[in-house]
Amino acid sequence: MRSTGPVSRIGRSLVAVTATAAAGAVTALSLGVSPAAAAPTDMTAPRPGDSCTAADLGTRHPYIKTTEVSPTITHFKGWYVTEGTTGQQTVSTDTTTVIAVSVGLNDTIETSFAVEALSNVKATVGLDVKLEYTSTSKESNSVTWNLTQPGYYGFYKGTKKVTGTYGSLNCNRAQQDDGRWALEWTEGPGGGSFTTFTTLEEGAVRCQDSVPADSIMARAQALLDCGSAAVKADHPAGAVAQTVQQKPDRPAQHPAPTSGTSTELPRATGHSARAALDCSAEAYKIAVPGKPLSWGAPLLADDGVRLRPSTIFSAHLDNWRLCNVTERNGVIEASLWNWGNGGCATIAEQNAATERALLMTVPCAEDDLQRFYIYRDVPGSSKIGVQNKYTGSMMGYDRYADGEFIRQYSSGRQDGTGTFDLTGV
């Protein structure tokens, strides 16, 4: 558990963590966005390559990579109107398609990251889309319309379905062409797809009506099957039997939450075996910059990591080692092993999707819930941001106080309280 070798490979990575003059070069990411995958039009939203500050190391933001808008019929009923049956009609339609709002596989839309992602979608496509969890199946299927002419009608409800992909921006150091270092918003781990929709519209349309191409009304008209012999024949007033294309799709089912798992990142592995960690010889404090409190591991299994003062009585509970260290695109990934209680930092699996869930320590295992990304300030500074690999959330705290818990926040703490100092003991 306290193995310190081989140290040479890990030592080289940790030299970079402490930002000495011997830090290795990191190639800056090139994340240009094509016109077909435009970034949000809101100029306050960060975009890849924008500059950031050390206070942003503990934060992250979504950015929209691609979008697609498609008119979609959600409710439909074919209805034949004869002479003498015109006027106001109320028709109960059948559900054809269910659209539900989601970000990744997360359909709760309760975290700040998911809400910000949908807000960026709204700015990108210029449509008033849903910013909270809802589904078209929650809408009434009744359509009331005033009909002035006899004919074969399609009563419908429809919307513009908006889908696409998003990425996650984190603040990290990047080396410039002239060799200098700077902090930039770069694409970090965590991304996925989203679905939302605009307000439902309803109406009635006939085969002979002239409608705008690729509109919701045109999609409804296409469901009428206007060329069928059954439609051309005499027909009593009322519902028309569904054609093949009118038959409802299988309703879209929301994926059931799996133990509260965040949906943007891969499935966590099991806890079946205690990991044999390759840990660095160096121990570190993860401290609030310029202040005496730092991360202190708990003695009790059901307690969380808290801000604590470092004293001679800390019993190494404030000392952490980085284990199984890897580095990719300038971002370190490591397990955080506590010298005092021998456990690894983690977010409890049942709380993985919970905003403000506590950071805890458990027996070490091969588990993405126990893996963390470390974002670093420019060389010469020890400031870092810490992100859980599985949940995608950043570590921070609600207020600076002795005994305050370290928690996860989907977008980090925008007031800078997610930036820490990683200093050698």
Q: Which residues contact 294 (CB under 8 A, 6 or more apart)?
A: 285, 286, 287, 288, 307, 308, 309, 310, 318
- What is the reported pLDDT for 84? 86
- The pLDDT of 256-261, averaged and rounded, is 38
Out of 52-66, 102-116, 153-167, 290-304, which region has the weakest mean confidence (pLDDT)? 102-116
Pairing state of beta strands 293-296 and 306-309?
A: antiparallel
- What is the reported pLDDT for 4? 40
- The pLDDT of 339-353, averaged and rounded, is 96
* CA 133 from centroid of its chain's CA atoms: 14
Contact 396, 420 (CB under 8 A): no
Out of 218-222, 243-247, 294-298, 313-317, which region has the weakest mean confidence (pLDDT)? 243-247
Indicate whether 26 pLDDT > 60.
Answer: no
Task: Kindly state the tokens that stand for 197.
Answer: 């929709």
Indicate whether 11 pLDDT > 50.
Answer: no
Burial 162-188 (b: 16+ CB within 10 A, else e): bbbebbbbbbbbbbeeeeebebbbbbb
Indicate whether 417 pLDDT > 60.
Answer: yes
Q: Cα separation of 326 and 13, whole Å?
A: 8
- What is the reported pLDDT for 364? 97
Q: Which helix (H) or strand (E) holds 60?
A: strand 60-81
- What is the reported pLDDT for 253? 47
**pLDDT tens sequence across 357-382:** 999 999 999 999 999 999 999 999 99
Q: Which of 50, 51, 46, 53 is nearest to 415 (CA)?
A: 53
Task: For tokens 């730092």, name the residue.
Answer: 294
Q: Which helix (H) or strand (E) holds 116?
A: helix 112-125
- What is the reported pLDDT for 247? 65
Confidence of residue 246 (pLDDT cuts 50, 70, 90): low
Contact 163, 67 (CB under 8 A): yes
Pairing state of beta strands 60-81 and 238-239?
A: antiparallel
Out of 9-18, 110-119, 307-316, which region has the weakest mean confidence (pLDDT)? 9-18
- What is the reported pLDDT for 233? 55
Q: Cα separation of 264 and 366, whole Å?
A: 19
- What is the reported pLDDT for 268? 41
Phi, psi of 219 (to 5 degrees): -65, -40
Out of 29-43, 58-72, 240-254, which region has the weakest mean confidence (pLDDT)? 29-43
Out of 91-95, 269-273, 302-306, 335-339, which region has the weakest mean confidence (pLDDT)? 269-273
Q: Cα separation of 347 and 192, whole Å?
A: 21
- What is the reported pLDDT for 13? 45
Task: For tokens 């077909």, name the residue.
Answer: 36
Mean pLDDT for the chain overall: 84
Angle (nearest 5°) at CA 89 between 86 and 90: 165
Q: HSE (CB half, 13 Å, CA atoms) of 184?
A: 22
Which residue type, as a one-letter code, is found at position 1?
Answer: M
Contact 91, 389 (CB under 8 A): no
**pLDDT tens sequence across 127-186:** 999 999 999 999 889 999 998 889 899 999 999 999 999 999 999 999 999 999 999 999
- What is the reported pLDDT for 2? 41
Confidence of residue 332 (pLDDT cuts 50, 70, 90): very high
Confidence of residue 254 (pLDDT cuts 50, 70, 90): very low
Q: Cα separation of 391 and 111, whole Å?
A: 12
- The pLDDT of 272-284, averaged and rounded, is 77
Q: Which residues contact 375 (CB under 8 A, 6 or more apart)?
A: 57, 58, 170, 171, 172, 173, 188, 331, 384, 385, 386, 387
Residues in the chain: 425
Indicate whether 24 pLDDT > 50.
Answer: no
Q: Cα separation of 350 and 345, whole Å?
A: 15
Confidence of residue 22 (pLDDT cuts 50, 70, 90): very low
Percent above pLDDT 70 for the chain: 79
Task: Kindly state the tokens that stand for 265.
Answer: 């990142």
Burial 360-379 (b: 16+ CB within 10 A, else e): bbbebbbbbbbbbbbbbbbb
- What is the reported pLDDT for 354? 93
- The pLDDT of 202-207, averaged and rounded, is 93
Out of 91-95, 106-110, 163-167, 322-326, which region has the weakest mean confidence (pLDDT)? 106-110
Q: Is the pLDDT higher at 235 or at 332?
A: 332
Number of H helices and E strands in the chain, helices first, is 4, 21
Torsion region of 104: left, alpha or beta (phi above 0 gives left; psi -120 to 50 gives alpha): left
Task: Kindly state the tokens that stand for 236.
Answer: 């009593």
Task: Kindly state the tokens that stand for 5.
Answer: 């070798």
- The pLDDT of 384-408, averaged and rounded, is 97
Confidence of residue 242 (pLDDT cuts 50, 70, 90): confident
